[in-house]
Amino acid sequence: MEKLKITILYDAVEDKEKVEAAAKGEKLSLTYEQVSQTLTRRGHKVKLLAAGTNVQNLAAQLEKEESDIIFNLCEALGGVSQHEQKVAALLELLGKKFTGSGSIGLALAQDKALSKKLLSFHGIQYPKFSVMDAGQVDWSDDLKFPLFVKPLNQDASIGINNKSIVRNVKELMEQISYIHTECKAPALIEEFIEGREIYVGVIGNERPEALPIIEWDFSKISEGIPKIASAEAKWDEESEAYKAPEVFPEDIPEPVYKKIQGAAINAFKALKLCDYGRVDMRLVKKSELQTENETQVEEKAGGDEAKKAGAGKGKTKTSPEKEDKKSTPRRRTPDKENPEDEGMEDWEFYIIEVNPNPHLDKRGELAVAARRHGLSYPDLLEKIIELALERSR
């Protein structure tokens, strides 16, 4: 790759966070520093530009930029993630070449309800969902417990905690209230998928390709800890979930593996993403889930018999709660006559979220999957730049 003049654009709040961490004796490894150091070692002339909240000043700074490409790492402005697409829109208005998705793709992906509707149009499977904003239901499927509640338009697992999985109306209303008051966002309510957490990186534009699947393996964490990518699991290094390993799963049959990768590519294209992205999914092996459900039913039946036996001894008789039933997500039954459904009889997967411009930390899922694919971290960064330049010609 020829040597370029590259400006790395990032949210100025990151510098403030670094200073605050240093005051506590902590050291932050910021993504923009990793990208800058890596590209500099590759011989490129790199400049850093911290994006402040004064839009007029930012526009003036960007207008003066004479770099060959702007490496856009601005996932927020002033720490507000909802401004991410506005930064891309500003770059577009100024006619600048930049890496990553444009304002349309960023806006579509950030509104998780709208993105699911687009996925539905393209025949891509996702959990049933509803949206509630300040007491008003904006959209509603017919949902069954357990449910998963999170902010409609946040990323980095903001608003996702150990109470995000709810199993009755009381828990549901408490979590909706939490999202409204603490996250200042509408609540997205999905049927919870009991399954494995998998991530599929996608790189490209006209002919995007899927990277190897990564699984965040929660199988060995203690009972009672939710097997979800919560904020604690992502950021609290002392938590048990944080220590759960990310692996390259080897038990997924090849037809299923390819189907998952194909769905990731289709989702990437459906939301008009550019250059690189990551698709988060839940993978279900139905025979394993059925065995688990049968065990739960047997345990529950035993418990109900015990309750009946004790009803005459001063104990309260209770009936099974409907909320304990497993979810019945939006699904398409595999067609044995359809070659595309080969091997899918025992497997289902659901797209949970589509992430444009995912975290580019060298230890992140995208970089790790790229290495498995044969792209080193420096090669990955240069590949993203090449894709952006090709798209801009």
Mean of the pLDDT values across residues 258-266?
98
Per-residue pLDDT at 26: 81
Residues 162 and 231: beta-carbon distance below 8 Å: no
Residues 210 and 261: beta-carbon distance below 8 Å: yes
| Strand partners for 356 | 277
The Cα 379–Cα 387 span in angstroms is 12
Positions of E strands within the chain: 5-11, 45-51, 69-72, 129-133, 136-140, 147-151, 165-166, 187-191, 196-204, 209-210, 214-216, 246-247, 275-285, 347-356
- The predicted-structure confidence for 184-194, as pLDDT tens digits, reads as follows 899 999 999 99
Mean of the pLDDT values across residues 219-236?
87
Mean of the pLDDT values across residues 252-258?
97
Entry pTM:
0.85
- The predicted-structure confidence for 268-307, as pLDDT tens digits, reads as follows 999 999 999 999 999 999 887 654 544 444 444 444 444 4
Per-residue pLDDT at 340: 57
- The predicted-structure confidence for 9-20, as pLDDT tens digits, reads as follows 999 999 998 888
pLDDT at 150 > cutoff 90: yes
Mean of the pLDDT values across residues 138-154?
85
| Strand partners for 133 | 136
Residue 374 CA, distance from chain mean position = 24
What number of CA atoms fall less than 13 Å from residue 209's CA on the CB side? 9
What's the pLDDT band for 131 if we cut at 50, 70, 90?
very high
Mean of the pLDDT values across residues 22-40?
91
Mean of the pLDDT values across residues 52-81?
95
pLDDT at 376 > cutoff 90: yes
pLDDT at 179 > cutoff 70: yes
Q: How much of the chain, in percent, has pLDDT values that exceed 70?
A: 84
